[in-house]
């Protein structure tokens, strides 16, 4: 099946009629249990095997306690593990992704491999990391009068940024390094937020300032660049961050 539950008539099961006939590609969202969809919970509960991104393996353990768990590195393709599980007659398989399946870097490769092997697939949408993490920090990545374009991508592939009305959202191993990379290409004064990917409600949710705030190592985090970053901070603080002012700490409860 494709999308959020609509059947794809071309994927009807394995050609030899044996073993598992379905692998469900499930989006886990940013990793918070309360952002997991009801459909995702049901698929996990029914799964015999779960192939999970490392960052959301706790959700797999919590919602699929009886399933065999195979963990793959975040962002990496788990084709061998998925095919090995799918070709065994043990029951249905769930591939659990961080965020939304369709935005995951490994989804295309894994989907193609499953289709080539004749394995039926179904995709269950999840909250995109690029939208959910900023939302938890009070930042809307698209506000009509501030941002006319929103780009989701890797820092190495984006054009030079000079327009605060162009929102950029980059997920990676180090949001500070991404900020430094972009700042070196110009636009150091553009508003920016670095949001950790492993925080939670009430915890420190990151820093807001300008692209020049990219000092040190932020760890796995999301970088949001553009006018919306400053607006998000202004909605929680009495003064919005401006170039030359020390970055502000964001807390999940500051809404």
Architecture of domain 130-251: 2-Layer Sandwich (3.30)
Residue 26 has pLDDT above 80, yes or no: yes
Of 160 and 9, more confident? 160
Compute how many other C-beta atoms are within 10 angstroms of the C-beta atom of residue 253: 11
Residue 249 has pLDDT above 50, yes or no: no
Q: Spell out the domain ranges in the chain.
A: 23-127, 130-251
Q: What's the CATH fold of domain 23-127?
A: Cobalt-precorrin-4 Transmethylase; domain 1 (3.40.1010)
Q: pTM of this prediction?
A: 0.75
Q: What is the pLDDT of residues 93-118, one digit of tens each?
A: 999 999 999 999 899 999 999 999 88
| 100 Cβ neighbours under 8 A, 6+ residues apart | 27, 29, 125, 126, 127, 128, 129
Find, among 193, 251, 197, the residue nearest to 226 by Cα.
Answer: 193
Q: What is the pLDDT of residues 54-96, one digit of tens each?
A: 999 999 999 999 999 999 988 788 899 888 888 877 788 999 9
């Amino acid at each position: 099946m494709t999308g959020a539950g609509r059947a794809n008539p071309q994927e009807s099961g394995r050609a030899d009629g044996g073993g598992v006939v379905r692998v469900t590609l499930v989006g886990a969202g940013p990793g918070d249990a309360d952002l997991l969809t009801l459909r995702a919970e049901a698929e996990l509960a029914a799964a015999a095997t779960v192939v999970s991104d490392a960052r959301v393996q706790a959700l797999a353990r919590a919602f699929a306690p009886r399933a065999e768990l195979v963990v793959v590195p975040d962002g990496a393709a788990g084709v061998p593990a998925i095919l090995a599980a799918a070709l065994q007659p043990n029951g249905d398989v769930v591939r659990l992704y961080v965020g939304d399946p369709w935005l995951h870097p490994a989804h295309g490769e894994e989907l193609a491999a499953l289709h080539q092997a004749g394995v039926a697939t179904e995709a269950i949408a999840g909250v995109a990391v690029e939208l959910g993490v900023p939302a938890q920090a009070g930042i809307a990545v698209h506000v009509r009068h501030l941002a006319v374009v929103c780009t989701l991508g890797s820092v190495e592939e984006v054009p030079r940024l000079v327009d605060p009305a162009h929102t950029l959202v980059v997920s990676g191993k180090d949001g500070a390094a991404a900020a430094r990379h972009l700042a070196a290409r110009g636009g150091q004064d553009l508003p920016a937020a670095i949001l950790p990917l492993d925080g939670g409600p009430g915890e420190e949710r990151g820093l807001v300032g300008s692209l020049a705030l990219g000092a040190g190592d932020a760890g796995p985090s999301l970088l949001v660049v553009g006018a919306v970053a400053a607006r998000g901070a202004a909605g929680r603080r009495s003064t919005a961050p401006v170039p030359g002012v020390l970055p502000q700490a964001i807390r999940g409860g500051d809404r």
